[in-house]
């Protein structure tokens, strides 16, 4: 994990307890960064130019696509993950965007919170979830 040695040193139980105390909006903020980094890494070798890399990443790191990817993942989520998704989806959106429906923003926030949650709790599970998004 990139999070830090203090966090890594915690037992799995203590780590889960601490992560559950992190506000969902903060998990979503982290998840957004993790997902964008995953997409940049995935596209790095496939793209010939930086412009093409950027276009490919932006096509997947946006609220509409993240909402769609959440629907792809839902059948494969554990009860714990579904709970994170449900709670994050019910957050009031932080801002207003004219070009994106509120329901899509909520789904995207839930996707990002799930990614952030798994980044901090179980990198192997995170990888398997991201691999599921890679094939769609």
Q: What are phi and psi of 73, to 5 degrees?
A: -80, -30
Task: Check: CB of residue 106 under 8 Å from CB of residue 25.
Answer: no
Instruction: Determine the structural domain holding residue 64 and report its residue range.
Output: 21-134
The answer to the question of residue 3 being in a domain is no
The answer to the question of residue 79 being in a domain is yes
- Label residue 76 by pLDDT band (50, 70, 90): very high
Whether the per-residue pLDDT at 1 is higher than 50: the answer is no
CATH number at residue 116: 1.10.1520.10
The Cα–Cα gap between 17 and 20 comes to 5
The answer to the question of residue 11 being in a domain is no
3-state secondary structure of 82: helix
The answer to the question of residue 121 being in a domain is yes
79 belongs to the catalytic site? no
Task: Give pLDDT, residue 104.
Answer: 87
The answer to the question of residue 5 being in a domain is no
- Give 3-state DSSP helix, strand, coil % of the chain, rounded to 5: 75, 0, 25
The answer to the question of residue 97 being in a domain is yes
Stated pTM of the model: 0.86
- Based on the number of CB atoms within 10 Å of its own CB, is 13 exposed (0-12), middle (13-18) or buried (19 or more)? exposed
The answer to the question of residue 13 being in a domain is no
The mean pLDDT of 66-94, rounded to a whole number, is: 93
| Tens of pLDDT, residues 87-101 | 999 987 666 666 778
| Tens of pLDDT, residues 102-117 | 888 899 999 999 999 9
Q: By C-alpha distance, which of 103, 106, 62 is closest to 85?
A: 106
The mean pLDDT of 40-60, rounded to a whole number, is: 81
32, 79, 80, 131: which is the annotated catalytic residue? 32
The answer to the question of residue 16 being in a domain is no
Whether the per-residue pLDDT at 2 is higher than 70: the answer is no
Tokens of 73: 């993942």
The Cα–Cα gap between 84 and 32 comes to 15
Query: Total domain count for the chain?
Result: 1
């Amino acid at each position: 994990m990139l999070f830090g040695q203090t966090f890594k040193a915690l037992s799995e139980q203590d780590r889960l307890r601490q992560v559950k105390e992190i506000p969902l909006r903060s998990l979503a903020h982290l998840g957004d960064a993790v997902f964008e980094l995953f997409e940049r890494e995935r596209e790095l070798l496939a793209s010939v130019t930086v412009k093409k890399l950027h276009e490919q990443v932006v096509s997947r790191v946006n609220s509409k696509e993240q909402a769609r990817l959440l629907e792809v993942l839902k059948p494969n989520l554990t009860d714990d993950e579904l709970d994170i998704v449900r709670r994050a989806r019910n957050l009031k959106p932080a801002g207003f965007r004219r070009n994106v429906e509120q329901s899509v923003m909520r789904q995207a926030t839930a996707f990002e919170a799930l990614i952030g949650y798994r980044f901090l709790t179980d990198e192997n599970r995170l990888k398997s979830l991201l691999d599921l998004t890679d094939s769609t």
